Structure 1
Amino acid sequence: MVDTDRLRQWLSKYHNPEVAFRDIMSAVSQYGGLQPHQEPYMFNDGSRADLVNLSGTIPVRYRGSLYNIPICIWLIDTHPKNAPICYVKPTADMSIKVSMFVDQNGKIYLPYLHDWVQNVSDLLGLIQVLIVTFGEHPPVFAKTRESSVTPYPSNSFMPQPTGSYVAPYPPAPYSGSSGGFGGYPPYPPTSNAGYPPYPSYNTPYPPFSGSNFGTPTPPAGTGTIKDEHIRESLLTAIEEKLLRKMKEQFQQNQAELETLKRTQEELKQGKAKLDSILSRMEKEKNDLDRNITLLKDKEQELEKAIERISNQESLDVDDAVTTTAPLYKQLLNAFAEEAALEDAIYYMGEALRCGVIDLDVFLRQVRSLSRKQFMLRALMQKCRQKAGLSI
């Protein structure tokens, strides 16, 4: 039974306490062998923090049999933004099986942890991935009596059951830091509900007992572990370690390659923009050069015209303006006289404003000038009609 009040108190310093609480309760409700605890955790940089962890066992089916694998899942205070830190916690009768998923310290490496996505990944999904992964690659194996590090012959990571099922990590009373699973509560029998009954096997191995639990039985016909068995086990461990290193290096190179590809795409886009800007500037430069050339030509024409006019004798304006027909001359004279009357009316207004003439004189003169102006405009209109010009 989980003390929810204490769990909420532990999670009070987390960034998203409610989300972490729901995630933990969902995992514990499905896997009763895990229980939340709060313990100090030391990071690689030497800093310490009180973090909540899920410790205990998870059921793993390996070669048709069900085993309880002890694990510990540490929740970072930024959960679920960042992935948890997971460890396999072997008991005194177990040794860690180093593979691409578990290192010699028991730390677990999974693509699910590497590709952890907030609001998508959760503890329940992580545990399910652990169960599937450990079902194919067991993370621990039982120690031998002679040596605590002697591996199994024939790649036998966990002993095969015989007769009635005996788990390699049998339930034991939980006793804190001693007994049981080295501080982890046992996986309760009721949590195996829904699994098929444990099968019986007829194998050459004798039944396990409390005294010989975890001790491998050598293959039939041999009484000792041969050198080739140890050599094969070492070669397997080295091969798996090299494969994990190669995979990590490949993933790192792949990530760097993706970064370089994105940088290349950005540089190509920038180059296209720069080429467009340079093309537009080149076009504007050509337009400016063409306009400058045109203005220089016009300037030379004006200078020649000014020089030609300055060398000519002064001309009478009246003599300079000549018409080709009497009708055009009559139109020109009427236009000039009408413009003169327009100027006279303007200056009459200025004289009235300045008080030079009286209002009566202004009105009388303006009336007379306006009458003449009207007649002249009518004459110009008739002349334009006769000449076929626009009115």
Structure 2
Amino acid sequence: MVSDPRVTRSLTRLGGLYRDPSRVDRDASTLLKSSVGNHLTPGIAPLVENNGEVAHCLVLQGTIAMHFRGNTYQLLVDLYLPPGYPHRPPVAYVRLTENMYLKENHMHVGSDGKVYLPYLHEWTMRTHNLVELVVAMSSVFSADPPVFTRAPSATPPPPPPATILPPVVVNDPPPPMPSHLLSSSNTSQQQQQAEAEARLAREAEEANRVMEAARKAEREEQERDQQMAAQKRWELQKKQQVKEQVLQKVLKHLQEVSMETKVQAQNYQRDQQRLNIAEEKLEKQLQLFQQAKNTLEEKSTIVEEKTVEIQEWLEMAAQAEQQNGTAQKEKSIDEVVQPVLKIHQQMLDLSAENASLTDALYFLDRCLYLGNLDCETHLKHVRQLAKRQFLARAHLMKVNQHLIRHPELGSTASF
């Protein structure tokens, strides 16, 4: 977009008034080159802020189009770009010409001509611009014009000065007037009559003009009443539309909140079910741990009791040995430990055989490793010993299962 040189010159004169002069130049030039702002002219003028401060800033002065009852009118406006533009919205004023007046209690224009629009109230630098502002002003003012005209008061012309005649004394009859003086007198009377008729015509024309002005003022008053009624209907309709929009938004928001609440309630219910299941599992585990604890305590008690019995037996054996006074000779483990039942003896034999076969297999592997035995002989003896060890272990497992099924067989032991 090519900048308007008039705007560029004005910004140069203002110096560093604006933080973003390129944005100001672009927005103002776009408005001046558009169809809605081609009657505006840039300049520099003082702007009085609400706090009383005065700042010279860029102003766009001119007219904007206003369409009313099929006719197009040009409304005189001033668009000020304050120092904080575009962060701050523009400031707009409606200006008056001769025989033009501001409408009282207008919805969007104050008594000083300042424009108040929702577009200005909702101004943001990213979404709003001057072209849309002028379009909004033209649309709002076309629905409800902020100004009206009034015919100038007609003042009747001053009456002509009265002719003062000297008093006439009738004593003797006047002498007859000459013929040339008689014609002159008739002419003067005709002129006076013509002037009187012209004066009457002017007075009649003035009266007609006053009556026409009164009728025109009455028509304008009726038009203003009609405009006010139309404006009230439009405002009522707009209010109803806004109410419906707000109601729809509230209903939509309530539906969304209801759905979110429902989903959250379902999630909470599922979490509660999971917690209940986890609580049941924890209770079962606690019960199992308590049972295991009780079992371990019982077995610990049994072990302690057996330990006490063994200690008592050892003490008794030591006392008996001291009483006899003679030291018994050392005995082998086979003589000290004697099984009570044959099945116990069988378990000892099988366990000893299993251990001896494991040792034999180990030494066979060592001989193969050291080269004292060939591979074929090694495999032959390993097969034989492994078969014997398998049978011994299988027999030992059967004996162990029999003892588990009959625990009373393993309840006693002899030393």
Bin the TM-score by the shorter chain.
0.5 to 0.7
Please name the residue that 2:76 is paired with: 70
Matches within 5 A, 1:47-196: 49-81=55-87, 83-91=89-97, 93-97=99-103, 98-116=105-123, 118-143=125-150, 145=152
1:6 aligns with 2:25: no
Q: Quote the sequence identity (%).
A: 21
**Paired residue type of 1:288:** L
SS in 2 for 1:58: strand
Alpha-carbon deviation of 1:29? 1.9
Please name the residue that 2:213 is paired with: 217
SS in 1 for 2:66: strand
**Paired residue type of 1:140:** V
- Unaligned ranges ≥5, structure 1: 147-211, 343-362, 368-373
Alpha-carbon deviation of 1:140? 1.0
1:332 aligns with 2:338: no
Quick check: 1:100–1:240 contact (8 Å CA) kept in 2? no
**Paired residue type of 2:352:** N
Q: Distance in 1 between matches of 2:61 and 2:380?
A: 117
The structure with more helix, counted as a fraction of residues: 2
Which of 294, 298, 308 is equivalent to 1:304?
298
Quick check: 1:14–1:78 contact (8 Å CA) kept in 2? yes
Q: Distance in 2 between matches of 1:254 and 1:44?
A: 36
**Paired residue type of 1:27:** L
Alpha-carbon deviation of 1:24? 0.4
Q: Distance in 2 between matches of 1:66 and 1:380?
A: 123
**Paired residue type of 1:131:** S
Please name the residue that 1:152 is paired with: none
Q: TM-score, normalised by structure 1?
A: 0.52
Q: Distance in 2 between matches of 1:116 and 1:67?
A: 27
Q: Distance in 2 between matches of 1:142 and 1:77?
A: 35
Which of 279, 283, 292 is equivalent to 2:286?
292
Please name the residue that 2:179 is paired with: none
- Unaligned ranges ≥5, structure 2: 154-208, 314-335, 371-378, 395-415
**Paired residue type of 2:302:** R
SS in 1 for 2:80: strand
Quick check: 1:100–1:243 contact (8 Å CA) kept in 2? no
Q: Which has the higher contact order (CA 8 A, sep 6+)?
A: 1
Please name the residue that 1:16 is paired with: 20
**Paired residue type of 1:20:** V
Alpha-carbon deviation of 1:25? 0.3
**Paired residue type of 1:7:** L
Alpha-carbon deviation of 1:69? 0.6
Alpha-carbon deviation of 1:14? 2.9
Quick check: 1:16–1:78 contact (8 Å CA) kept in 2? no
SS in 2 for 1:218: helix
SS in 1 for 2:74: strand
Alpha-carbon deviation of 1:141? 0.9
Alpha-carbon deviation of 1:8? 4.8
Which of 380, 386, 396 is equivalent to 1:381?
386
Please name the residue that 2:30 is paired with: 26
Quick check: 1:57–1:70 contact (8 Å CA) kept in 2? yes
Q: Distance in 1 between matches of 2:99 and 2:279?
A: 84
**Paired residue type of 1:25:** S
Matches within 5 A, 1:256-271: 264=257, 268=261
Q: Distance in 1 between matches of 2:50 and 2:137?
A: 24
Quick check: 1:99–1:244 contact (8 Å CA) kept in 2? no
Q: Distance in 1 between matches of 2:279 and 2:99?
A: 84
Alpha-carbon deviation of 1:28? 1.1
Alpha-carbon deviation of 1:91? 3.9
Alpha-carbon deviation of 1:292? 2.4
**CA shift in 2, pair 1:286/1:63, >3 Å:** same
Q: TM-score, normalised by structure 2?
A: 0.50
